[in-house]
Amino acid sequence: MSIFLLFLLITTSCTLASGQGTRVGFYSKSCPRAEYIVSAAVRSAVQSNPTIAPGILRMHFHDCFVNGCDASLLINGANTEKAALPNSLLRGFEVIDDAKKKIEAICPGVVSCADILALAARDSVVLTKGISWSVPTGRRDGLVSLASQASILPGPRDSVTAQKNLFRTKGLNTQDLVTLVGGHTIGTAACVVFSYRLQNFTSNGGPDPSINPTFLAQLRRLCPPGGNVFNRVALDDGSERRFDNSFFNNLRAGKGVLESDQVLWGDASTRGIVQSFLGTKGSARFNAQFRRSMVKMSNIQLKTGKAGEIRRVCTAFNK
């Protein structure tokens, strides 16, 4: 081994050990049971309530897109991110709190809430019969959480252009966009989020023409005019509890529930990526790309080293 290579290995090791960035196994010595505790907490919650899995995956996404992956979404308060309208229907916060409490009991002040959330998102995919990946850890928790900043989150009416522009500001490309939206293969949406598509969408009072007519009838039964706007509908019709590539098959068939999902099939710049995720070979491509895109997203605007803090509880800043 050359002297230069030896020097590089030593300096890289020291940099990672001091917390200047994320790496797999960051807590292997400081809190070796951390990942197991998170996994057990998520598993217990999902077994009791399967809707927790997609809730945690969405939570991680929403956290990362506002000030980076720093657990700012977990802070309680009237004017925090958690209180913002785009986050009002998220679920699973109590699972992160439970994991944090158990970790603090054995490794106080060591494991960040941001890392717990990133690990829990991975475990949520695994528990819905999806793929696993190694999660780099070493994030620190943020010191700011403002409801007003959540306004940048992607919306259900966003065009492909709007989505691409937002993802680009986070260092994510079009491939990452389509892949991460594929996380909608698990979970549901409330009628209030998409029912505007079912009637009076066009100038003559008709529905969104991109909706499959048979699926339109199904959605109208589930979300009738004057009905409960908080009724929930599977985002991946027929497979909302299994992480797979059927979501993309549904987009091809005009069965995307959210307008922002369905437009990925209608736009030339994203249709090819959707097509690449169809079928058996497409499933393997989607799984491989989802691993890469999740790690890439989880490193948005990192706070490491001496930035931020390690919270004692995830719902409040340290005093």
Check pLDDT > 60 for residue 5: no
Confidence of residue 12 (pLDDT cuts 50, 70, 90): very low
At residue 1, the pLDDT reads 43
Q: Which amino acid is at 91?
A: R
Percent of the chain with pLDDT over 70: 94
Q: Which domains does the chain have, with CATH numbers?
A: 27-152 (1.10.520.10), 160-296 (1.10.420.10)
- DSSP string across 206-258: ---TTS-HHHHHHHHHHS-TTS-TT-EEESSTT-TTS-SSHHHHHHHTT--SS
Share of the chain above pLDDT 90, in %: 92
Cα 317 off chain centre by? 23
Separation of alpha carbons 55 and 52, rounded Å: 5
Please state the rounded mean pLDDT for residues 211-215. Answer: 98
pLDDT value for 207:
97
Catalytic residue numbers, as ranges: 62
> Poorest-confidence range of 8-12, 47-51, 125-129?
8-12
Per the CB < 8 A criterion, the answer to whether 73 and 314 are in contact is no
Return the axis-axis angle of helices 93-106 and 52-64, rounded to nearest 10°: 80
In angstroms, rounded to a whole number, what is the distance separating the alpha carbons of residues 220 and 191? 10
Q: What angle do CA 260, 168, 87 make, to 5 degrees?
A: 50
pLDDT tens per residue, range 155-192? 999 999 999 999 999 999 999 999 999 999 999 999 99
- pLDDT exceeds 90 at position 6: no
Mean pLDDT, all residues of the chain: 93
The Cα angle at residue 46 between residues 232 and 227, in degrees rounded to 5: 10
Q: What is the pLDDT of residue 21?
A: 81
Its pTM stands at 0.91
pLDDT tens digits, residue range 19-35?
A: 348 999 999 999 999 99
The answer to whether 174 touches 164, Cβ cutoff 8 Å, is yes
Residues 6+ apart with CB under 8 A from 86: 62, 150, 151, 153, 155
Q: What is the structure's pLDDT at 244?
A: 97
Q: What residues have CB less than 8 Å from 143, skipping those under 6 apart?
A: 308, 309, 317
Q: What is the pLDDT of residues 34-93, one digit of tens each?
A: 999 999 999 999 999 999 999 999 999 999 999 999 999 999 999 999 999 999 999 999
pLDDT at 115: 98
A 10 A CB-CB count for 49 gives: 13
Q: What is the pLDDT of residue 19?
A: 35
Confidence of residue 15 (pLDDT cuts 50, 70, 90): very low
